[in-house]
């Protein structure tokens, strides 16, 4: 099927009747990677949220594994996607903050899977630069919302040009030539929420779901597929269909909580609606959360349609499925908005996986407590494909944990983000799911939290003399982790503050001549 046919949603031949089919012995499984953008971990029913309705993501967890300690090491869009693309940690793929993904890395997921015999397709958001740089995807059907970036904005002029028009917007204008896909009136990082003002079928989330279903219903090749379905929501703007916005109007959505240590973030960071900190009126926070919850459920509805298409085609037991997000969303917790922070709502993500029968010798419906990260997804897919990586990776295959084999797994995961929004937001952290240690690279301030007793991170224990040895232990672990980076990070066994920040590392392709474009932070 051509890209034009998929985007147009042309009529397809009736799919085969639903059937129970097992993956033939020795045949590589299909791989379906579903991701949402800015989806925080606790906004999934399977993670204990009783207010949100996510039955289809919950099903993947129920019939597979739920990773309870999943993180995004550098929790903004592009560095998170660099980890996903390369299977590497931030220092080794080279992105320590938000900027452009490199145009090519030595080992990239879609290219490696194509070499392993897969038909590789991406539908939705990639956040690659240039936009049509495929990184090995043989087919690209994109939703990057380029028309948000006005031609007068020199930082985004290439993305806003007609040549860079994404497939979703091209399809939208084929359906409504005089319409505006952003007519709801919310900006890219707007904290406000409003119902989508256009017909629901024109929403980007629906387009992504439709296109993925069309792909699966029409797939008739002998080779296995690797399909990436990447929703641009629930990232703001929070503009779900009105029916879903109305559904959450009276729902028991958890209120935002702010610790005493977060009082410094109470003042509003700016006059516009793209703030990164500010204590807003409870009604405004509530409306944001209603829109966000409704946006999450809209994504979940599409996940359900995708699973149904797999079942109808008889491919469910031939397909490895993983759902996750690139990072979270603060939604007013600790008086913060958006992401890029070490706090749970920003850095911790949902991650659930279902495997075809025979791929993993393990029970379904398990919960894994081991620390996992986006870097682990590429090794997982390579193992499923029977492929050996051409160079060392920092990630490890999640199939090991799905089989209940925890021996030798990492004890903690490293987190970090260099300057974002403000020089003060510049940090490194370590977390094992119980203890989180945070070091402010701006001024050397430390934070320590016991997540088992304090999952909302309300009480900073760094100044508690009873826990001085615990603080020292985790500080020492960070010293050891950062030692390979040299004296800019660690000198004589002591952590060194870096108030000016570090955008990229020497492993970044082409470093130090990094094509960073000023103004990109407006897109975060």
Q: For the segment 178-221, what is each residue's pLDDT rounded down to a tens digit?
A: 999 999 999 999 999 999 999 999 999 999 999 999 999 999 99
Q: Does the active-site annotation cover 166?
A: no
pLDDT value for 155 = 42
Beta pairing, strands 366-368 & 65-67 = parallel
Closest CA relative to residue 37, chosen from 272, 234, 329, 284: 234
Return the ∠ at Cα 121 (arms to 102 and 65), rounded to 5°: 90
Closest CA relative to residue 239, chosen from 212, 204, 210, 274: 204
Closest CA relative to residue 357, chosen from 321, 387, 323, 383: 321
Q: Which has more pLDDT, 105 or 159?
A: 105
**Range from 202-216, 256-270, 405-419, 500-514 carrying the lowest mean pLDDT:** 500-514
pLDDT value for 511 = 85
* Catalytic pick among 69, 77, 146, 420: 77
Confidence of residue 157 (pLDDT cuts 50, 70, 90): very low
Q: What is the CATH number of the domain that holds 111?
A: 3.40.720.10
**Does position 271 have pLDDT exceeding 70, yes or no?**
yes
pLDDT value for 332 = 98
Asked whether the beta carbons of 319 and 306 are under 8 A apart, the reply is no
* Average pLDDT of every residue of the chain: 92
Q: Which has more pLDDT, 150 or 170?
A: 170
pLDDT value for 513 = 67
Output the DSSP codes for 182-219. TTT---TT---B----S-GGGSHHHHHHHHHHHHHHH-
Furthest-apart CA atoms within the chain: distance in Å: 69
Positive or negative, the CA dihedral 395, 396, 401, 407 is negative
Domain presence at residue 103: yes
Q: CB atoms < 10 A from the CB of 263, how many?
A: 12
The DSSP element (H or E) to which 58 belongs, if any, is helix 55-62
Return the ∠ at Cα 9 (arms to 7 and 13), rounded to 5°: 130
Closest CA relative to residue 397, chosen from 360, 434, 431, 365: 360
Burial profile 326-354: b = 16 or more Cβ within 10 angstroms, e = fewer: bbbbbbbbbbbbbbbbbbbbbbbbbbbbb
Confidence of residue 512 (pLDDT cuts 50, 70, 90): confident
Q: Which has more pLDDT, 518 or 460?
A: 460
Domain presence at residue 177: yes
**Does position 158 have pLDDT exceeding 50, yes or no?**
no
Number of folded domains that form the chain: 1
* Catalytic pick among 39, 56, 93, 127: 127
pLDDT in tens, 5-48: 554 543 333 333 333 345 555 689 999 999 999 999 999 999 99
Collapsing DSSP states into helix, strand and coil, what is residue 239? coil
Domain presence at residue 327: yes
- The answer for 102, left when phi > 0, alpha when psi is -120 to 50, beta otherwise, is beta
Asked whether the beta carbons of 429 and 416 are under 8 A apart, the reply is yes
pLDDT value for 11 = 35
The average pLDDT across 227-240 equals 98
The average pLDDT across 398-423 equals 97
Q: Does the active-site annotation cover 431?
A: no
Collapsing DSSP states into helix, strand and coil, what is residue 67? strand
Confidence of residue 148 (pLDDT cuts 50, 70, 90): confident
**Does position 328 have pLDDT exceeding 50, yes or no?**
yes
Confidence of residue 156 (pLDDT cuts 50, 70, 90): very low
Confidence of residue 154 (pLDDT cuts 50, 70, 90): very low
pLDDT in tens, 366-409: 999 999 999 999 999 999 999 999 999 999 999 999 999 999 99
- Say what percent of the chain tops pLDDT 90: 87
Domain presence at residue 430: no
pLDDT value for 177 = 95
- In angstroms, the CA 418 to CA 423 distance is 8
pLDDT value for 69 = 98
The token pair that represents 2 in the structure block: 């051509």
Domain presence at residue 233: yes
Domain presence at residue 524: no
Domain presence at residue 51: yes
- In angstroms, the CA 216 to CA 330 distance is 34
Confidence of residue 516 (pLDDT cuts 50, 70, 90): low
Asked whether the beta carbons of 81 and 129 are under 8 A apart, the reply is no
**Does position 164 have pLDDT exceeding 70, yes or no?**
no
pTM of the complete model: 0.93
pLDDT value for 149 = 59
pLDDT in tens, 431-447: 999 999 999 999 999 99
Residue 405, domain extent: 3-11+28-411
pLDDT value for 453 = 98
Return the ∠ at Cα 322 (arms to 13 and 417), rounded to 5°: 130
pLDDT value for 23 = 52
Domain presence at residue 520: no
pLDDT value for 145 = 82
């Amino acid at each position: 099927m051509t890209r034009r046919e998929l985007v147009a949603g042309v009529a397809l031949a009736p799919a085969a009747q639903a059937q129970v089919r097992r993956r033939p012995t020795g045949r590589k499984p299909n791989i379906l990677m579903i991701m949402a953008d800015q989806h925080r971990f606790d906004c999934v029913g399977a993670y204990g949220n009783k207010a949100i309705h996510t039955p289809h993501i919950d099903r993947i967890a129920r019939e597979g594994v739920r990773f309870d300690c999943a993180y995004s090491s550098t929790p903004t869009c592009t560095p998170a996607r660099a980890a996903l693309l390369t299977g590497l940690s931030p220092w080794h793929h080279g992105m320590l903050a938000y900027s452009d993904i490199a145009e090519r890395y030595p080992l990239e997921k879609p290219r490696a899977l194509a070499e392993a015999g897969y038909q590789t397709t991406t539908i939705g958001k990639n956040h690659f630069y240039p936009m049509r740089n495929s990184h090995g995807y043989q087919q690209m059907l994109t939703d990057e919302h380029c028309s948000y970036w006005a031609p007068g904005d020199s930082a985004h002029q290439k993305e806003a040009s007609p040549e860079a028009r994404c497939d979703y917007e091209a399809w939208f204008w084929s359906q409504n030539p005089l319409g505006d896909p952003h007519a709801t009136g919310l900006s890219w990082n707007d904290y406000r929420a409003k119902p989508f003002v256009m017909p629901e079928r024109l929403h980007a989330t629906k387009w992504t779901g439709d296109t993925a279903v069309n792909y699966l219903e029409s797939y008739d090749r002998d080779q296995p597929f690797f399909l990436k379905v990447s929703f641009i929501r629930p990232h703001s703007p929070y503009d779900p269909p009105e029916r879903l916005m109305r559904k959450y109007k009276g729902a028991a959505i958890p209120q935002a909580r702010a610790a005493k240590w977060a009082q410094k973030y109470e003042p509003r960071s700016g006059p516009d609606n793209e703030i990164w900190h500010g204590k807003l009126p409870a009604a405004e926070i509530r409306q944001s959360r209603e829109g966000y919850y409704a946006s999450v459920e809209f994504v979940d509805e599409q996940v359900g349609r995708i699973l149904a298409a797999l079942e109808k085609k008889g491919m469910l037991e031939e397909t490895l499925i993983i759902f996750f997000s690139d990072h979270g969303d603060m939604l007013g917790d600790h008086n913060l908005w958006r992401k890029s922070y070490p706090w749970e709502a920003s850095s911790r993500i949902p991650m659930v996986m279902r495997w075809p029968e025979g791929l993993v010798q393990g029970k379904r419906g398990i919960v894994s407590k081991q620390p996992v990260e986006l870097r682990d997804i590429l090794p997982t897919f390579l193992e499923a494909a029977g492929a050996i990586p051409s160079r060392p990776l920092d990630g490890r295959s999640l199939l090991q944990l799905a089989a209940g084999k925890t021996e030798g797994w990492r004890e903690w995961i490293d987190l970090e983000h260099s300057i974002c929004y403000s020089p003060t937001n510049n940090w490194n952290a370590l977390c094992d799911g119980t203890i989180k240690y945070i070091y402010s690279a701006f001024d050397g301030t430390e934070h320590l939290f016991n997540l088992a007793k304090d999952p909302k991170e309300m009480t900073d224990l760094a100044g508690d003399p009873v826990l001085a040895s615990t603080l020292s232990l985790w500080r020492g672990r960070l010293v050891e982790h950062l030692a390979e980076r040299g004296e800019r990070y660690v000198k004589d066994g002591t952590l060194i503050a870096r108030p000016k920040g570090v955008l990229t590392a020497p492993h970044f392709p082409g470093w130090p001549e990094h094509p960073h474009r000023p103004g990109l932070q407006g897109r975060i």
